[in-house]
Structures are given as C-alpha cells and as structure tokens.
Amino acid sequence: MRLCFFRRRGTDARPIRRVSALLALALLASHAHLAQAAAPAPTIDLPATNMSGDTSVYREISADLARLAASLPGDGGVAENPGAPGATPIGTATCSACHTQEQLLYSHTTHARAFAAGSGGASAVGSCESCHGPGSLHAGSPTTKGAIISFTHEGGTPVQTQTQACMGCHTGGARQHWLSSVHETRGLSCSDCHNPMARGSPEGLMAKRSINETCAGCHQDVRAKFNRRSHMPLPEGQMSCADCHNPHGSVTKPLLKTDTANGTCYGCHAERRGPMLFEHPPVRENCMNCHDPHGSNQQTLLAAPVPMLCQQCHTAVRHPNDLQTPAGLANGGAPDERLISRACLSCHTTIHGSNNAAGAKFHR
Amino acid sequence: MKPLQYSPVSLAVATLLMAANTAQAADGSASARVGDLQYGNALDPGGFGAALMQRDLLGYSLLRAGVSRTPTGDLYTAPSPVPEDQGLGDWRYTNGLELGYITQTGDKDAQFFRQYSDWQNGFALSLAWLDMWKPETGDYLEARASYLSEDDNFLRLRVGRYGDFRVEAFYRNMPHTLTTTAFPLWEGIGSDTLTLPANLTPGNSTPADVKAASDAAARTTLRVTRTRAGVSLEGDMGRGFIGYGALTNEQRNGTRLWGGPFFFNYPFVNNGGVMETVRPIDFSTTDVSAGLRRAGKVWRFNTVYSGSFFRNRKTTFTYENPFVIAPVTGTPAAGILTEGQFSLDPNNDAHNLRVELGRTLPQRGDLSLTAALGTMRQNDPIGLNLNCAAPGQVGISGMPFVVNCADWNTPASLSRSTAQARIDTLLLDAKLSFHPTNTFGWHLELRRYDEDNKLRYQAFNPLTGDYGYITLNGSMGTVVPGEMGLFNPNNPAYWSYPAKIGSFPVGYTDTTAELGGDLQMGYRNTLNVTYTFRRYEPDFREVEYTNEHRIQIALTSRQFAGGTLRASYDYATRNGGDYNYFPYASFYAQSLPGFVMPDTANGEASLFAFTTDAMRKFDLSDRDQHKFRLIYTLPVGEATTLSATAHGQYNSYDTQIGRKGDNATGLTLAWDYQPMPRLTLNASASAAFSKMRWANVADNEGLVASDPGNADPTFGGPKYPLANVWNESDRERSLNANLQFTYQWSRTKLDGGYNLNDSRGRLRYDYASISAISATQQAFAATISQFPDTRYRTHSFDLGITQTLSKQWSARLFGRYEHGKFADWHYTGFDTALAYDHRVYTDRGPATDYDAGLVGLMFRYVP
Amino acid sequence: MKLRLITPAAALLLFCAGAAALAVEVQDLRSVPAITGDAQAGATKAALCVACHGPDGHSMVAAFPALAGQNATYNYQQMLQYQSGQRVSAVMAPFLASLSDADLRDIAAYFAAQAARPANAAASAQATETGRKLYVDGDPARGIPSCQGCHGVNGVGMQPAGPNDRVPWHSFPTLAGQQGDYVAQQLRAYKEGARGGTTSAVIMQEVAKTLDDAAMQAVAAYIAAH
C-alpha cells in the first residue's frame, strides 16, 4: 500500500505535492499533538493522505515535511472525479465529522489501517478522498449527485469513474487483464463485489459474507449446481469460486487463472498431469469433455452416466457399442460388468492415462 | 507557488518518492494462485464465525438507515459491530474463541451427510482468532483457526506490515469421504498390495466361495484426507517492484475405489474376472511459485514462475485375483492368473513461466501482452506387462500364444525403462482495447496456445521381438486363443494381430481471434457485440482442425423495469476438416513392416473394421451452439432485492452416431430482504433441466473374419447395420430451494435455514431392432422396461439460538437435521449381494434413505 | 428504537490514545417520517410559546431559540425529547408536559409555516466573514465540515436529492433566523456531550468537537445575520 497516488491517470507527476500531501495530513489531524508549530495552512487545496513507503525515514523528517506541506498547494493523492470539476480535498477529519459511523466501521479494515500506517501513524485513519475523490463540493451540497465518487446504487457516479478510483492503486497483479474482461464490459464496478467500508468477510473485503456468497449474488445457477450429488467442497467452505476463477479478468476463458482449463484442475489434482505413457486424448485436451466442474448428478462430477458417456465416442467393434438395458444390472437376467457400478471403469480403470507398458487401453 | 525552503532531507525524500513513481497493486499475489483462498468448514462455511456474530444494529451510517446497494442493485450485508480492541504496548488487538461440543444423531455414517465434513461427537473449536496491529507502523498479525476433527481443521496466519511485506502461512486438513458402505473382499486395504482372505485361493476360487467371502466382508469407510501447508512471502522490493514467493505442500492420504480387469464375464459364464478393488492414495504435491510485478502509470508488468512437483509414494498397486480364468477351448491354461497390477499415477514435474506486460495507450487504450512457457515432465519407470514369477507362463497350454513370465516381468522386456514423457506448452496472447469516446470502445484479442507432446514410445519387447502388450493381465490371452495382444513379424501366429504398438502423443494448438465492440446507448444501456474465431488443431485426432465462429451479443441495462439486466446471447458454429474415422492406424501393428493381412473368404486381404465411419466425437464434430444468459436484479424499496437468472445452452452436433445434442436450461429466483439490521431473510429457488442425446450402432458380432463385410466400416453396411442402431437420452432436472433467516433481539439472535435439493435423472433408450442390444440381454428385451430414475433428494434444516450472556460471553445452541433419499441404478442389487459370478464389487453405494442430525452447543469468549 | 452505539472517538482517532470507548443509548431518527399538522390549530396552541419564543416565532431574547420557519419534524422531535426528558430543560418541560401528540404536531406545523427573519440583520459582512467562510466551506485544516452541507444555503435547510434519498433532511433543523447566542450555546452543549442521545445529535457532537470557542462564535454571528 504505497505510493499509489503517483500513478493517478492524468495527474501531473509532481513529487513535491505528494510530499506535501503526506505531511499536510499529519498536520491536519494531529493539530493538538504536533510539537512543532505548523505554519498556517492556506485554506485552498488541502492534500489528503500520501502513502510514503519508507515510514522510518518519514517519521524522522516529519517536522520538516510538515512545514513544507503547509505552504504547498496541490491535490496530492485523491481519486479523480470528472463529475466534480473544481472540487478540492477537505481531509479525513472533515468527512468523519458527519460520517461518524462509516468511519468507525471502516477504521478496522485493511485500507484504513494501511493508510494510517502509511503516514507514519501520525494521522487518523486513512483518507476518505483517496477513493471518494475531493470532497469540497459534496460537503457544500451533499444532495448533488456525482459531487463525490459514490460506489453505490443511484449514487450518480459512472461506473468507469468508480473503477478508476480503485485501479489507481490496485492495477496490475490479479487485475492485469481487467480492461475488456467480461465483468468490465458488463459494466460491473469494483463495489459490486467488494465493500471496503467494513470487514464482513474473512478474505477480500467482499460485499457479502464470503467470496462464494458474493459470486452467488449473480451466478445463482452455478451456486445451485454445487448442491448436487457430486460436487467439490465449495458449499462446505473448503474452497471458493476464486480458487479457480479470476473474476478480474484473464487470458483463459472462462476467467481461469492458468493457461488452460486443465492447468487449473492440475492445481489440486496434480496426479492427473502426467504426461502419461498412454494418454486418453479427451483427458489431455480438456477435463470438461467428461466432467462438469461445478456439480453433477452422476458420480465423480461426470457429465453423463457411465457407460453411456463413453459410448458417445466409442463405437469400436465388439463390446463398446452394444446397447445396455436394465437386464444387465446386477440383479437383472444377464448381469453385465459394462453396466454395473463403475461400468467401463471397472476394467478401464486408469482412464486418465496409464504409465504401464500394458496400459494402452487403460487396463493396468 | 511561493518560494520554498527545502531541507536536504526533505529533498531526498522527495527524490525518493519521485523515483518510485509507481502505484503498487495493494493486495496479494496469492489471489492469482489456484486454491487456498477460502478457509472454512461445514460448521462455518464462511470461516469467520458469522453464526455467532451479532449485527451492528446501527448499520452503516448515522445519516440514513438501512444498507446501501451495489451499483447493480444488490443489498450489501449489514455490518457487524466493530470489536472493542485492547492495548498491549504499541499494539492493539482483538481476539476470541468459539468452542463447544457437537453430538450427532441418526444415520451419521450416511455418505452424503459427511461427504466433506468430518463430524465427530466431541469438542469442536469453531473459531479462534487473533487480530493484532500496530497503528503507527502498520505492523499486523492475524490468525484464525478452527478444528472439527484431526481431518477437518485449518490454521491461517498473516503477518506483515502494510506497504512493506506480508507473510502468509496456513495449515489445513480437508476430508473427503467417498463411501461409508464399502465391503472390500481383500485385506491390506490402504496398502499397495491387496491379498485375498484366507478362505480364498488366488486364481482358483469358485464364484460361490467369492460370494461367501464378499458377504462376510467387513464394512469399511473409504476416504481421502488432504493435508495442506504453505507459506508465502510478498514484499516491496523497492523501486515499485513487488516480489512474491510461495511454497505449498499437500499430502493426500487415504483410499478410494478402483478396478481390476481379468477379461469379460458377460459372454463367458464362470470365466473372466471383474473386480472393484480399493487403491491407496499416498500423494505429496509440492508447489513453488515466485513472482515479480510492478504497476506504473503507463506500464504494468507481472511475471510468475510456478513449479509443481507431484510424488506418489505408491506407484504400483497389486491385487490378488480369486477367479479361475480358463480357456474357452477347454484345454488347460498355461498358468494360473493370481495377481493383477496397476501402475498408479506417476511422479511428475511441471514448470510454468508467465510474463505479462500491459501498457496504457492514448484514446483510453490498453495493450496487454502475455506469454507463458510451460513444461510437464514425467520419467517414472514404465510399469511391466506381467508380474508373475519365472518360470511361470501365461496363455493357453499347447497353443502358440503362450508367453513366459520371465520374458515380460523385468524392465529388460521394455523398449525403454522410463517413460520420458514430456509436454511443452506455449501461450501467447495479445489484447488491444480502445475507448476513444465515452460511448464507444472496441477490443481485439489474439491468442495462441500450443501443447507439444514430445513422447514417442513404441511397445516393443527386445527379449522376444514382440510388439504390443499383454492384454488384461494375461487374462484375455488365457481365455481366447490368439488374443494375447502381441504382434511379431517373424511369427506366423502373431503376424496378423493388429496390436496397439504405440502411444499417440496427444497435443494440440488452439488459436483464437476476438474482435468486440461496446456501445453505450443513453446513460443506462450498453451493447456489446463480440465475434470470436477459434481454430483448434489437435495432433493425431480424427480431424486436422476445427473452426468455430461465434458471435455474442450482450446488453446491460440499468433501468430495465427498474432493475439491472444483463443479458447475453451466443451463437456459435463449428466445422472442421475431413473427419477420419480411424486415424490411429500408425499406432497399430498393421502399420509395421511384416504385418500380414489376414485372408478373407474371397482372397482379399483385409482387417476387420475397427470402428464405423459415421461416428463423430463430440469434441471435434460439427456443432451449432446457442447460448443465452440473463441476470436480473430488481431493487424494491429500501429493504428488498429480487433477482432472477435464466440460462440456456443448446448444442446440436451434426452426426448420426455419437453425441447428437445436449441442452441445458435453468431458472433461478432469489429474494433478499433486509428491512433492518436485526432481520435478514433470503430465499432462493432454482430449477435446471438438461437433456443429452446420443446414438450408437452395435456391430454385427456374427460376422467372422472370413466374411467380406467384416472389413466394411460403412455405417449401414453389413458390420454396422442400421438395424443395430440405438438411441438414448438422459434427461435431468434439478431443483433447489433455500431459505435462511436471522432475527436479532438485543441480546438474543435466532437464525435458521432450510435447504432442499431434488434431482432426478431419467435414461430412455430405443433401438431399431433387438440386435442393437447386447447379445446376452436380448432375451429379456421384451420384458424389461427402461432404467429406473436416478434420484437425489435432501432436505436439511438448521436452527440456532445465540444468546449474549455478558460482555465477553455468548452461547449458541444449534441443530441440524438432514433427510436424504437416493437412488442410482448402478448400485441395483448391491444391498443383497456384491458378488455376481466372476464379478465382485466393493461399494454398496450411498444410503438410499437416511436421517441424520447434529446438535451442538458453542460458547464464544471475547476477552 | 433504542440502540447501542460506541462513540466513534476512540476507534476513530487512534492517536488520541487516551480516549476510551463509551457506550451510549441512541435514539434512531434516521427513518422518522415527515410530520404533518394543522398550522391553523397550532397557532392557537402556540399561544403560550410566544412569550419566550417571540411572536410568529421570532425570538426577542438571544438565549431563546427562534422557531419561525423551523422544520416541523425537527421541532416535533425536540418537543418529544423535552417531554421524555431526553433533552433536559427545567424551562421547557412543564410547558410541554400537558400537550398531546397532535398538539405537538400542530404547533410544529404552525412554526414551520412562519417566515424566518435574521436575528441580527445589521451585522456587517466584514464582521461575519470568518463565520461565513466556516459556514460555507468549513475549514479542512481543522477538520471542520461545512454547515451548509446539511443545513442548506443560508440555513434554509436541504431538499432531498430525489425519491430514493433516505437521508432525513426534514428532521435536520434549519438555521435561518436563529439566534446567535443560542447557536453558540447549543454547539457548546454538543461538544461537551450535554446534548446527545439521537443519531442526529451524535453527528452534531462530532462536528462540534472540531470547533473551538472562536469558531463557534464566528459561526453563530454569521447565522444570526442570516
């Protein structure tokens, strides 16, 4: 969490302003505590928090910088809000005078603590305006929509402004491919899934109580599939949608983290990776040829019952292509191992590939 | 700007800050890794102690009541009160503990009740947490732990300093119960050697003996436990770079169902052998990853190396065979087949290095380049054809196809001793996107992925000069003459056998090009149109390439009848090159010099038609696809959100044989009601329907080698006649309903829920004539009806009362009741017997009817 | 609805290490509906009020608040608070003790219908300049929010942003025509915690904490002039 404001798109690279930003907040919030007498701050642009990384160095020179900041104008590290031209930052303390409860809930979140620490701990919890943009117009007229970056429904701020506010710091990494990703083109804002104003989920500052609940808000059908007879342990809380998918965008459809779908599966099922001496082509090419990753009414996440699934590709001579009827069940008139229990897999057991010289047909 | 007085130190800092003119992605690289993002268990799926958490009755703001909505219109979750923190020197901290006792009732061993949760009667730690931070410096430590049982627990630790570094560590155990109704015939379950009980003789027991032993088998639970531990470090490396390193290890231990082939039983009464064995799972997977990234104003760079090393401590699995495998000729077998063997998953290594580069461009543009190089390697010893001991033999005594164990049970019998398997992968992706005006944007993406399988293996035995392999542990060659599975150009008995002699190196190239445009219509509506072209080129498959054209139209509207609608429709059409119904000839003996085509009746040499020409494998066949998806969120008043989704996918494959179509349609409805922080209610219902159709043709097994039609692959010809065509469909419908509520008084909270799952699968078949049916079952065709439906239905009720006893203590009494019904025709008959002639099975299948519950009392202590 | 609330001071301003968390009962005014009443009937019932609050609600004495043009809902809520003792005043309590709920509504409606008039129109622009700056822009340097944001331009109050605006603007007091001394007095009461107990009051407590005496005087002077 550092130096994120330096890359605000469109703002000038004016390091001195950032220095002043950092210090001005120290000044602003610790008015009664700062030992050095601060120079009277001009009431024009009061910069918001800055995130200097090197906190120890900062603390040492904080007094000098405080004096420096006081005399400098600048907009520091606040989010850009094209909907509020001419607005200037007013600082966290001003916001929290009215937004008390919000500030209380927010103070225990990652952002608040990180911002507070980034300024050497000499300020209060982090700057509201780093995300919400400069607040002077909003403070003067809170009913004007768009005067402050609002991340909620009917807030009046375009989604693009909202996402750019977050991406100011959070670009790159898992969000390397955000632009033109499916969630982005469908007009989702970061705040559709995340709620950094309070810590409601153990990971990721989600909008609901967990990653899974958040995804299920829109993807109810996929979540319902996990309740089927065979499924991976997502409903039991052992894994999340984000274990396989990267909702922020990826180069592999559908939003997978690895080069291929199989690569994702191998993340937990490395035993299938091989490569094997004898491969089964649909297995090597795509696990989804046979399996449904979210949930299935068949055993082991298969997309169709065995042996029928196999019979959709195999019509070779003799035993694969016969129609199986209930007479072939264990208590039927002519029990048939090609139908009972594991069916084909009773004999073709190493179906994912075999490393045995006699495993060409996956018997061994 | 007024003239400034700079102190040298402040200038230095300013310079430093200017040099590090970057933004740094502020969250963990861990989120780009597969797995381990969610820590919870069945008692607390969220992993955060939500059940015992009260709601902050004041809500989010003093300025207005209620919760806000996301831009789409969903209600956020009402917040919980901020815990009071305490001081310890410069640190602040909160911590707490939830501990209690759980007891189970009813059919607690029902497989579905404990599939992924290891409920135990006894003490359970629902959650223990510690959250410490140092406001001034940003140091923090966060720990969470939960313990349901020794196979179901987790510990999660994070230590770091904001803006500087973070260390994450975790340890967790995840259980997976595969079956609780296993009755394995063998002893040594869990080891890599299964032996028969004392009263059975390997290779020489009667079906009655086997059945008696199977009936006497003890009930066993087969389960796998994954034990994972990992540590990762992420930190600021200076100059805007963030470095990341992680090490994770998983131990996977347990048992699961497996097979055991000793040739068919269905055409040969009292012969052959089919076994459902139990294999050991004893894996260790180590994952290493390291990454570096930097995001600046214009450039963003990310590179990740990931290495994965899989080790299997039990790569060979041996099991004893009880059944007599006897030649159909009536003559004695050359050897008694007592043992079968499997080569289990081999050790493998994988490496992947990915480099991603992104650059913002004018016109609100962006260029993103990705390249990833990977390799998967495996070089384990190749499993042997036979594991019988010298001087034993396998085959039919006196016939030409007898093999000596000594010629096949050593590594010297292989063309090479280790697999030398290797697949190299290359991913290249370039994406260009522009948003020149507020209303219009477009993007172009080119992607190419190549998997190059470098394995070249020929099954050849240098000791005997034979090509091919011993089929089915030697049983096929013991039962049927000439079916040992070997080809040898120097042996007249062997030189016409079309043995599979090579491994086809499966790989492919996948290229896509995508062009899309976004248009904003008005303030509230966006239209996206995307065209994607995909060319898929598999190696050594039935087609050289498939081309798929896809067009997707999507609409996002924020004012659709007051709510947000996201709708998309896809149409895709796939066609490919000429379909070669049997491209594998080069991997069979008929491609080798010295192969002698067998004579047929009219003197023409030909080989039987391996398969029919009309089959189109569904991953390569011509296909038309329609897909649609609708997600609708409607805010109603201040407290209600109604949402609905609908989806459908309709594939039709242009083929007479094989998968012909699969459709899936679904609808979900949800209601989220939060009128005040003390009351939340959500209800949802979903219904999903699917239908899959396929067809096949039974080959005319009456044709013998001398019949000319035997070599004719034509669909509708003598070998694959239309009279033998059969069609089948699988229709499934799955219903799910869920209701959850919480109501909070000042010191008491009541929460509960109900969940219903109801799935039904229905198979229906029809056939052109009775000869489509497996010959042994034809006699019953007139009287048999269709397969019984597969059913899975569970009702589960949860109820809990949480009472605040004092500032520090609260208690929660909760209960869960689950009722389930299950039916799957695969297990028909297993409730009475697991052995049928020369077949013996292990798993009786999940309980068809169960009632299980648990009651627990938890105490939460927050000092 | 009574709620528990931890005052935000402790958790919020971490550097104020000494502040301890206080648990306070808070009345939720966030969803109070706008009240209606009969202004005509209220005129009669308000006869007793004018003695201190002045004819038509324009108070003569600086310490007594003007009521002319005051938001009916706010007035109503304050009268309820006097009745219940949540807002303590030996003076007000007996006056309101005998009034029914309908009476309170009518009185509130009556005063709301009156036109506000500056208490000290003669004050010069120069004299109120500091207060004006504070009122309109606040002082970000000291964390003082703009009063205008909630109390409207020149204290006339705020209109909702739209039909979905859930902030109870109608329950926030107007300041136009208010007595300067009274304003200063109430700000002090908020700052010291003497006045509190509702969600709106808690907000005002936090705002008042940002003001020192000089700032309070300046703002009061400005309000008095408008």
For chain C, list the domains and their CATH numbers: 1-30+118-226 (1.10.760.10), 39-113 (1.10.760.10)
Question: Which of B63, B94, B744 to probe the C interface (max C CBs under 10 A)?
Answer: B63
Q: H or E stretch including B753?
A: strand B748-767
pLDDT of residue B601: 62
pLDDT in tens, A304-361: 999 999 999 999 888 999 999 999 999 999 999 999 999 999 999 999 999 999 999 9
Decide if C133 and A43 are in contact by the 8 Å CB cutoff: yes
What pLDDT does residue A95 have?
87
CB contact under 8 A, C206 and A43: no
Best of A100, A325, A339 to substitute, by most chain B Cβ atoms within 10 angstroms, is A325
Check CB contact of B696 with chain A, cutoff 8 Å: yes
Please check whether residues A227 and A297 belong to one and the same domain. no
Spatial CA neighbour of C11 closest among B862, A116, A77: A116
CB A126 within 8 A of CB A107: no
d(CA C201, CA C198): 5
**Interface size between A and C, measured as CB pairs under 8 A:** 118
The predicted pLDDT at position B843 comes to 96
Arithmetic mean of pLDDT, B413-417 = 94
Residue B120's pLDDT band (boundaries 50, 70, 90)? very high
Nearest CA in chain C to A44: C140
Better-predicted residue by pLDDT, B440 or A134: B440
Report the alpha-carbon distance of residue B194 to residue B187 in Å, rounded: 6
In a domain, A10, yes or no: yes
Say if A352 falls within a structural domain. no
Check if the beta carbon of residue C198 is closer than 8 Å to that of residue C26: yes
- Average pLDDT (B605-632) is 93
Instruction: Check CB contact under 8 Å for B612 and A315.
Output: yes
H/E element holding B667? strand B658-676
pLDDT at B34: 84
CA distance B651 to B692: 9
Query: How distant is the Cα of A229 from the closest Cα of chain C, in angstroms?
Result: 44
Name the percent of chain A lying above pLDDT 90: 51
Closest among B332, B654, B283, B272 to B476, alpha carbons compared: B272
pLDDT band at B708 (very low <50, low <70, confident <90, very high): confident
pLDDT of residue A30 exceeding 50? no
- B804-822 mean pLDDT: 93
Q: How far is it, in rounded angstroms, from Cα B254 to Cα B258? A: 13
For all residues of chain B together, what is the average pLDDT? 91
Is A57 domain-assigned? Answer: yes
pLDDT of residue A120 exceeding 70: no
Q: Is the pLDDT of residue B573 over 50?
A: yes
For the cut 50, the answer to whether the pLDDT of residue B361 exceeds it is yes
A135 in the same domain as A30? yes
Q: Parallel, antiparallel, or unpaired: how do β-strands B466-468 and B486-487 relate? A: antiparallel
Q: CB contact, 8 Å: C218 with chain A?
A: no
Amino acid at B153: N
Using a CB-CB cut-off of 8 Å, the residues of chain A touching B718 are none
The bridge status of strand B316-320 relative to strand B193-194 is parallel
Categorise residue B190: left if φ over 0, alpha if ψ from -120 to 50, beta otherwise: left
The stretch B445-472 carries a mean pLDDT of 95
Residues A113 and A223 in one domain: no
For residue B765, the SS3 value is strand
> Cα–Cα distance between C32 and C74 in angstroms, integer?
10
pLDDT digit string (tens) for A215-257?
A: 999 999 999 999 999 999 999 999 999 999 999 999 999 999 9
Q: How far is C213 from chain A (nearest CA, A)?
A: 15
Given a cut of 90, is residue B191 above it in pLDDT? yes
The rounded distance, in Å, linking the Cα atoms of C207 and C198 is 14
Which of B613, B719, B709 is closest to B658 using CA atoms? Answer: B613
Eight-class DSSP state of B48: S
Q: With contacts defined as CB-CB under 8 Å, which chain C residues touch A46?
A: 140-141
Instruction: Provide the pLDDT for residue A72.
Output: 33
Minimal CA–CA distance to B156: which of B167, B165, B164? B167
Residue-wise burial string across A326-345, b where 16 or more C-beta atoms lie within 10 A, e elsewhere: bbbbbebebbbbbbbbbbbb
For C26, counting Cβ atoms within 10 Å of its Cβ (0-12 exposed, 13-18 middle, 19+ buried), the class is buried
In a mutational test of the B interface, the residue from A51, A297, A302 whose CB has the highest number of chain B CBs within 10 Å is A297
**A224–chain B Cβ distance below 8 A for any pair:** yes
Confidence of residue B52 (pLDDT cuts 50, 70, 90): low
Least confident residue range of A80-89, A216-225, B485-494, B808-817: A80-89
Look up residue A262 and give its DSSP letter. H
More confident residue, A84 or A48: A84
| C212 close to B (CB below 8 A) | no
> Would you state the pLDDT for residue B769?
95
The answer, for B138 touching chain C at a CB cutoff of 8 Å, is no
Q: What is the pLDDT averaged over residues B703-713?
A: 84
| pLDDT band, very low/low/confident/very high, at B640 (cuts 50, 70, 90) | very high
Instruction: For residue C201, give the chain A residue with the closest CA.
Output: A98
Tell me the per-residue pLDDT of B123-149, one tens digit each, with 9 for 90 and over: 999 999 999 998 878 899 999 999 999
Give the domain-ending residue among A86, A116, A140: A140
Q: What is the pLDDT of residue A61?
A: 29
Residue at A163 is within a domain: no
Determine the Cα–Cα distance for residues B342 and B281; give it in Å rounded to an integer: 13
| Token pair belonging to B774 | 């497996």
* Model confidence pLDDT, tens digit, residues C35-49: 988 888 888 888 888
Q: A156 lies in a domain?
A: no
Mean pLDDT, rounded, for B320-336: 93
With an 8 Å Cβ cutoff, is B637 touching chain C? no
Of B342, B631, B775, the CB nearest to A349: B342
Q: Does A126 score more than 50 pLDDT?
A: no
Tell me how far apart the alpha carbons of residues A46 and A52 are, in angstroms, rounded to a whole number. Answer: 17
Which residue in chain C has the smallest CA separation from A69? C141
Q: Are A123 and A18 in a shared domain?
A: yes
CA distances from B636 to B69, B73, B462, B482, B674 (A): 11, 9, 78, 75, 11
pLDDT of B14 higher than 50: no
Of residues A19, A219, A349, nearest to B259 (C-beta): A349
Instruction: Assess whether A114 and A9 both reside in one domain.
Output: yes
Nearest residue on chain A to C21, alpha-carbon basis: A104
Same domain, A122 and A197: no
Inter-chain residue contact B14 with A336, CB threshold 8 Å: no
**Whole-number pLDDT of residue A203:** 81
Tell me how many residue pairs between chain A and chain B have CB atoms under 8 A apart.
Answer: 703
CA distance B385 to A364: 8
Do residues B426 and B454 touch, judged by C-beta distance below 8 A?
no
- Residue among B16, B54, B9 at smallest CA distance from B807: B54
Q: What is the pLDDT of residues C166-192, one digit of tens each?
A: 899 999 999 998 888 999 999 999 999
Q: Do A140 and C136 touch (CB under 8 A)?
A: yes
Is the confidence at residue C20, as pLDDT, over 80? no
Residue A136: domain span: 4-140
**Residues A113 and A207 placed together within one structural domain of the fold:** no
B841 contacts A358? CB cut-off 8 A: no
From C171, which residue of chain B is nearest by alpha-carbon distance? Answer: B63
Does the beta-carbon distance from A121 to C14 stay under 8 Å? yes
Q: Do B84 and C21 touch (CB under 8 A)?
A: yes
For chain A, how many structural domains are there in total?
3
In the numeric block, the tokens 């949930």 are attached to A295
In a domain? residue A78: yes
Kindly tell me if the per-residue pLDDT of A69 is higher than 60. no
Using pLDDT thresholds of 50, 70 and 90, give the confidence band for residue B844.
Answer: very high
Which chains does chain A touch, 3 or more C-beta pairs < 8 A? B, C
Of A223, A243, A263, the one marking the end of a domain is A243
Q: Note whether A31 and A86 are same-domain residues.
A: yes
User: Which tens digits make up the pLDDT trace of C127-164?
Assistant: 788 899 999 988 887 888 899 999 999 889 888 888 88
- CB contacts < 8 A, B to C, total 40
Contact predicate B284/B313, CB 8 Å: yes
Interchain contact, B62 vs C199, CB within 8 Å: yes
Angle at A95 between CA C211 and CA B160, to 5 degrees: 115
CA dihedral C78, C81, C87, C92 (to 10 degrees): 70
Give yes or no for a contact between B628 and B567, defined as CB atoms under 8 angstroms apart: yes
Residue A151 lies in a domain: no
Please tell me which of the candidates C4, C167, C202 has its beta carbon nearest to residue B57: C4
Q: Do B58 and C26 touch (CB under 8 A)?
A: yes
Bridge partners (DSSP) listed for residue C150? none
Q: Is C134 part of the contact surface with chain A (CB cutoff 8 Å)? A: no
In this prediction, residue B135 carries a pLDDT of 82
Q: Look at residue B760 in the predicted model and tell me its pLDDT.
A: 97
Q: Say if residue A75 is in the same domain as residue A121.
A: yes
B198 interface with A at CB cutoff 8 Å? no
Is B508's CB within 8 Å of A217's CB?
A: no
Mean pLDDT is lowest, of A298-307, A321-330, B16-25, B854-863, for: B16-25
Query: Which residues in chain C have Cβ-Cβ distances shorter than 8 Å to A141?
Result: 148-149
Residue closest to A127 by CA, chosen among A62, A51, A73, A203: A51
Residue of B nearest to A9 (CA): B297
Going by pLDDT thresholds of 50, 70 and 90, the confidence category of residue B50 is low
Evaluate if residue B87 carries a pLDDT over 60: yes
DSSP state of C164: T
Measure CB to CB from residue B774 to each of A243, A257, A323 and give the nearest one.
A323
Chains meeting B at 3+ CB pairs closer than 8 A?
Answer: A, C
The size of chain A, in residues, is 364
Select from A34, A94, A127, A154 the residue whose CB has the most chain C CBs within 10 Å, as the one to mutate to test that interface: A94
At A199, the pLDDT band (50, 70, 90 cuts) reads: confident
pLDDT digits (tens, 9 = 90+) for B548-572: 999 999 999 998 999 999 999 999 9
Token pair for A48 = 């918001």
Choose the final residue of a domain: A204, A221, A243: A243
- List the single residue in B57, B64, B84 with the smallest CB-CB distance to C166: B64
Q: Is B88 on the interface with C (CB under 8 A)?
A: no
Q: Do A211 and A337 belong together in one domain?
A: no
Spatial contact of B45 and A96, defined as CB atoms under 8 Å apart: no
Q: Does the pLDDT at position C165 exceed 90?
A: no
Same domain, A130 and A66: yes
Q: Based on the domain organization, do A15 and A125 belong to the same domain?
A: yes
Q: Supply the DSSP string of C182-217, one letter for each residue.
A: HHHHHHHHHHHTSS--BHHHHHHHHHHHT--HHHHH
How many Å apart are CA A272 and CA A284, to the nearest integer? 9
Mean pLDDT of A28-41: 34
Burial B465-491 (b: 16+ CB within 10 A, else e): ebbbbbbbbbbbbbbbbbbbbbbbbeb
Inside any domain, residue A40: yes
Three-state DSSP at B488 gives: coil
